[in-house]
Amino acid sequence: MYKDIYNIYETEPTTTISWDMIQRYVSQCSSKEETRIIEMRMNDDALFAEAMEGFMSDDSISNKDKIEKAIQNIENNIYKGYIARQSNESNTKTPIRWLAIAACILVVLGLGFLINDTIQKNKNQEAKVLTINSTDTSSLNQLSNNSNVTNTIPNDDLKKDDEIHSDTTTKKAQASNTHSTKTVAINMDNSQENLLPTLSETTAVYDKDKIAMVEKVEEEAAVSRDVNDVISEETKPTSPAKNVGVNSNAPHINIENRDNKKDDVFTKNDSYVAESTSGHTVGDGIDIYNNKQYLDAISVFSEILSYDKNNMQAITFRARAYARQGECNKAANDMDRIPIDNINYPETEWIIAQCYLSNNQIKKAKALLQVIVNRNNIYSAPAKDALEAIK
Amino acid sequence: MSKSKSIVYSDQELIRLFRESEDSKYLGMMYQRYAMNMFGVCMKYIKNVDDSQDAVMEIFEKLHHDIKRHDIANFKSWILTVTRNHCLMILRKNGLQVEYKDEIEFEYGNSISDFDARNEAEAKEKKLNKMDICVQKLNDIQRLCIDMFYLQGFSYKEIEVKTQLSYKEVKTHIQNGKLNLKKCIESNV
């Protein structure tokens, strides 16, 4: 019997109730069907029921036309509001989109520069990775022993140094009192025959362990010097440097004492892509240099520099090769092209100083050694020793 | 807009689409669906055409943000609550006494919302069987109004005339009777 009441559960109205229908209902002009539809909806739909209460209030009935207008306004305003909001949204989204694109481009460019910079740095660092020489205390003691030979430097030789290279080096020294190179290893010639001060070139490394080791060695060397203050005054016979034409009367700086050591040995680096016409790269040149084939190394670096004149690696290693070869002036010329803040600069400077000493260009050697001392870098201590030895 | 006119979305679909795309057109469709009723509700409380119109527009602005923040199970019930609260807030702001509906009507309002929210089609048969029993449990006036409205098909006005009750009383008795029926059926299912 009451099964018809079941329509109270019909929650989704299927008939659209228009404003006209509502108006007719409110003014009691609606048909029986329309009345039924509206009242059924009022029972099912709380929102509609409350709205109908509003429409059936005295205020609404007395303002029938106004209400109709208001409803139209609301619908229009909602549409306008939607349009305005949509355009606002698109207006605000557009610059954000462009900003996002610009940001992406900047990020990509930044990454590109970063990667490029990193690659360049790696190239430089790999070139600078030097294996530290095995430095033993005995060789350091030998340095102390040999420090007494300064008297053997003939005064005549000092006069020979008429080419003053110190001007440029002094200027550079003023510019750089600090340098990133951390360590120095003083390597001595193991040969018992060579009793002249034998200051092997030092090696810059970035390995902290090696730095620690070198510092320890330096400390030991300092102790050894104290102990050996009263070492024999006798000037021991000297032997000429192996590859450098040396005045036998001059103090020898043996720069070729590499038989038992691996001094500034560079590994071939693939990143040195600059190739000579013969197909040699800077890395090849460094390999050749490490094999002590200095003339070959010079030709390779010269060839590379003929078309890549500002290749710092090539300039640096050609300078070193010249120095090893005893061509100190050429080495100095190359060194002048190296920026003072170049990571390779101090070591090259030190090698050239050794070259001057080997060539008995004492004046130049002194000037350069003094510059190195003033730089207060890792080569300053051995340079000071060398200066004292010369005096 | 024109594209979406051809598609009839449910309220839930429109909410979902708006949340996903943040495209105001879906909200606009929703408002066009309910703007008239919202205005009617505002008229009920504020009793002023211009103020009611402004109130509906204010709700439109407000809901643009609120709809994203609230979990809306039944938009129709939710918009009614929002509209009602907004109108009451306006009244309070204007220092006017808030004229609350009587208790029965308030209860009715919420109960309808619940009704809408839970459509239990599968329990139809069980409910129908219980219907006879539950109608007998209604009080006389409610049973009379329910009987006249649902079974005999009289309008509110006709019931008003036949029972000597006011239009509002007829409506309230029918709606509360419906609520009690629902409660009775639910408890026995």
Q: What percent of chain A has pLDDT over 70?
A: 52
- B29: domain range? 8-93
Q: Are residues B145 and B75 in the same domain?
A: no
Cα distance from A56 to chain B (closest Cα, Å)? 8
Residue of A nearest to B143 (CA): A2
Question: A192 in helix, strand or coil?
Answer: coil
- A190 pLDDT more than 70: no
What's the number of domains chain B is made of?
2
Res A143 pLDDT > 80:
no
The pLDDT, as a whole number, for residue B7 is 64
**Chain centroid offset of residue A348 CA:** 22
Domain assignment present for B104:
no
Same domain for B182 and B141: yes
User: Does the structure show a pLDDT above 70 at A39?
Assistant: yes
∠ CA B160-B162-B163, nearest 5°, is 70
Query: Structure tokens of B159?
Result: 């019931």
Q: What is the pLDDT of residues A81-110, one digit of tens each?
A: 666 666 565 555 556 677 888 888 889 998
Residue A124 has pLDDT above 70, yes or no: yes
**B33 Cβ under 8 Å from any chain A Cβ:** no
Residue B73 belongs to a domain: yes
**Could you tell me if residue B117 is inside a domain?**
no
In this prediction, the residues of chain B whose per-residue pLDDT falls under 50 are 1-6, 100-120
pLDDT score of A79: 65
What count of other Cβ atoms lies within 10 Å of the Cβ of residue A162?
8
Among residues A66, A334, A332, A347, the alpha carbon closest in space to that of A179 is found at A347
Q: Residue A76: closest CA among chain B residues belongs to which residue?
A: B32
- Residues of chain B in contact with residue A3, where contact means CB-CB under 8 angstroms, are 128, 131
Nearest CA in chain A to B174: A43
- Searching chain B, which residue's CA lies closest to the CA of residue A12? B116
A89 contact residues in B (CB cutoff 8 A): 22-24
Are A44 and B115 inside 8 Å of each other by CB?
A: yes
DSSP for residue A230 = G
> For the ranges A65-69, A202-206, A313-317, B66-70, which has the lowest average pLDDT?
A202-206
Chain A nearest CA to B163, separation (Å): 17
The predicted structure's pLDDT at residue B135: 82
CA A32 – CA A348 distance, rounded (Å): 110
Q: Which residues of chain B lie closer than 8 angstroms to A12, CB-CB?
A: 119
Domain match, B82 and B144 both: no
Domain ranges of chain A: 2-62, 129-390
CATH of residue B82:
1.10.1740.10
Q: Is residue B74 part of a domain?
A: yes
What 3 state SS string does chain B have?
CHHHHCCCCCHHHHHHHHHHHCCHHHHHHHHHHHHHHHHHHHHHHHCCHHHHHHHHHHHHHHHHHHHHHCCCCCHHHHHHHHHHHHHHHHHHHCCCCCCCCCHHHHHHHHHHHHHHHCCCHHHHHHHHHHHHHHHHHCCHHHHHHHHHHHHCCCCHHHHHHHHCCCHHHHHHHHHHHHHHHHHHHHHHC
The pLDDT score that the predictor gives to residue A129 is: 60
CB-CB: which of B1, B115, B155 is closest to A36? B155
Q: What's the rounded mean pLDDT across residues A216-230?
A: 48
For residue B137, tell me if it sits in a domain: yes
**Residue length, chain B?**
189
Instruction: Say if B115 falls within a structural domain.
Output: no
State the complex-level ipTM: 0.72
CA distance B115 to B129: 19
Q: Do residues B65 and B26 share a domain?
A: yes
Which residue, chain included where needed, has tokens 């919202």?
Answer: B38
Q: Measured between beta carbons, which residues in chain A are less than 8 angstroms from residue B24?
A: 81-82, 85-86, 89
Q: Quote the minimal CA–CA distance from B62 to chain A in Å.
A: 12
Q: Are residues A51 and B155, on separate chains, in Cβ contact within 8 Å?
A: no
Question: Measured between CB atoms, which of A9, A39, A74 is closest to B35?
Answer: A74
pLDDT, position A86: 61
Q: What is the pLDDT of residue A45?
A: 83
- Domain identity same for B79 and B140: no
> How far from A384 is each of A91, A326, B40, B140, CA to CA, in Å?
72, 22, 100, 120
CATH superfamily of A129-390: Tetratricopeptide repeat domain (1.25.40.10)
Q: What is the domain-level CATH number for residue B155?
A: 1.10.10.10
A168-181 average pLDDT score: 42
* pLDDT at residue A16 is higher than 70: yes
Q: Is the pLDDT of residue A318 over 90?
A: yes
> Which of A101-105, A315-319, A374-378, B32-36 shows the highest mean pLDDT?
A315-319
Across A104-235, the runs of DSSP E, i.e. the strands, are none
Contact present, A325 and A295 (Cβ < 8 Å) = yes
Does residue A117 have a pLDDT over 60?
Answer: yes
CB A288 within 8 A of CB A324: no
| Nearest CA-CA distance, residue A80 and chain B, Å | 9
Specify the DSSP class assigned to residue A251.
P
pLDDT, tens only, A48-75: 888 888 888 877 777 777 888 888 777 7
pLDDT for A155 equals 43
Q: Does the pLDDT value for residue A298 go beyond 70? A: yes
Task: Give the integer Cα–Cα distance in Å for A97 and A102.
Answer: 9
DSSP, res A56 = T
The residue of chain A with its CA nearest to that of B30 is A78
Q: Taking CB atoms and an 8 Å limit, are B80 and A9 in contact across chains?
A: no
Cβ–Cβ below 8 Å for A2 and B151 = yes
The share of chain A scoring above pLDDT 90, in percent, equals: 5
Burial of B74 (0-12, 13-18, 19+ CB in 10 A): middle
Which among B57, B77, B80 has the least Cβ separation from residue A77? B57
Q: Which residues of B touch A13 (CB under 8 A)?
A: none
